């Protein structure tokens, strides 16, 4: 399973780099989907089947498809690609890049210091996830639903179609 893990992880890193560096939004999103699928494979390779399946269904399946549709409908291209290329000039990313590289070095050093640092395959099915979600963490689940409610209210308030609402009020 080690080989699967490393191959999938390498694909995830490389495709994520392409997400950032690509100038065409649709291509960048397709790379992002591949990256999410690769992360799902990483989960599977460690036995976290439930998390892997969720990653595919929720992220790669639902959210990213929505993203791709919206971006395709906006019909970006031409002007945006030129602007993206401008934003990718080295003077903009070299500073943050160096700082992130330092952070990466610190983290790699930290992870190397772990004594129990092997990749274990440990099967974790949906049942055990469900038992802990609705056992000790049941309050966290409830509170997360409140978080979703907050997100929904904010999205509704900021994103609703103002003109349509006004005409509805007039009819009423």
Partner 1 sequence: MSISIQQLAAFSPLLIVDLSVIVVMLAIAWRRCHKMTAGLSIIGLIAAILSLFFVSGDIPAHLTSLLQVDGFTLFYSALVLIAGLATCIFGYSWLKEHQDNKDEFYLLVLISTGGAILLACANHIATLFLGIELVSLPLFGLVGYVFQQKPSLEASIKYMLLSAGASAFMLFGMALLYADTGTLSFAGIASGLGQSMDQQPLLLVGIGMLLVGICFKLSLAPFHLWTPDVYQGAPAPVATFLATSSKIAIFAVLVRIFIEAPLIDLPSVKLVLSVIAIASILFGNFMAVSQTNIKRLLGYSSIAHLGYLLIVLVAIKDRQLAIETTGVYLVGYLFASLGSFGAVSLLSSPNRGQDVEEISDYRGLFKRRPLIAVVMSLMMLSLAGIPMTLGFIGKFYVLAVAMQGSLWWLSAAVVVGSAIGLYYYLRVAVSVFLPSLNGHVAEVVETSSLSIKAGALVLLVSAAIVVILGVYPQPLIDCVQFAKPW
Q: Among 38-46, 49-57, 80-88, 109-117, which window interacts with partner 1 (CB under 8 A)?
A: 109-117
Q: Among 11-19, 51-59, 86-94, 130-138, which window interacts with partner 1 (CB under 8 A)?
A: 130-138
**The only residue of 127, 139, 163, 164 in contact with partner 1, by rule CB under 8 A:** 139
Residue 34: CB minimum distance to partner 1, A: 21
Q: Among 37-45, 76-84, 120-128, 135-143, which window interacts with partner 1 (CB under 8 A)?
A: 135-143
Residue 78: CB minimum distance to partner 1, A: 25
Contacts of 158 (CB under 8 A, 6+ apart): none
Q: According to the binding rule CB under 8 A, does residue 158 interact with partner 1? A: yes
The structure tokens listed for 44 are 């599977």
User: Taking a C-beta distance cutoff of 8 angstroms, is the pair 55, 40 a contact?
Assistant: yes
For residue 90, count other CB atoms closer than 10 A to its CB: 8
Residue 4: CB minimum distance to partner 1, A: 21
Residue 28 DSSP SS3: helix
Q: Among 8-16, 53-61, 92-100, 136-144, which window interacts with partner 1 (CB under 8 A)?
A: 136-144
Identity of the residue, 65 or 144, whose beta carbon is nearer to partner 1 in the bound complex: 144
Closest Cα to residue 123, out of 43, 64, 58?
43
**The only residue of 13, 106, 133, 168 in contact with partner 1, by rule CB under 8 A:** 106
Q: Could you tell me the maximum CA-CA distance found in the chain, to the nearest angstrom?
A: 70
DSSP 77: -
Q: According to the binding rule CB under 8 A, does residue 146 interact with partner 1? A: yes
Contacts of 45 (CB under 8 A, 6+ apart): 1, 4, 5, 8, 119, 121
Residue 83 DSSP SS3: helix
What residue ranges bind partner 1 (CB under 8 A)?
A: 106-107, 109-111, 113-114, 135-140, 143-144, 146-147, 149-151, 153-154, 156-158
């Amino acid at each position: 399973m080690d080989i699967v893990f490393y191959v999938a992880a390498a694909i995830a890193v490389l495709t994520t780099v392409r997400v950032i560096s690509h100038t065409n939004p649709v291509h960048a999103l397709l790379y992002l989907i591949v990256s999410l699928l690769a992360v799902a494979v990483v989960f599977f390779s460690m036995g976290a089947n439930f998390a892997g399946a969720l990653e595919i269904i929720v992220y790669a399946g639902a959210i990213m498809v929505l993203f791709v549709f919206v971006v395709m409908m906006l019909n970006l291209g031409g002007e945006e690609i030129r602007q993206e290329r401008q934003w990718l000039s080295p003077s903009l990313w070299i500073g943050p890049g160096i700082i992130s590289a330092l952070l990466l070095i610190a983290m790699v050093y930290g992870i190397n210091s772990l004594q129990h640092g092997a990749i274990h395959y440990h099967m974790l099915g949906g049942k055990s996830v469900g038992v802990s979600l609705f056992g000790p963490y049941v309050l966290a689940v409830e509170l997360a639903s409140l978080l979703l409610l907050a997100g929904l209210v904010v999205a509704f308030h900021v994103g609703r179609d103002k003109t349509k609402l006004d005409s509805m009020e007039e009819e009423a």
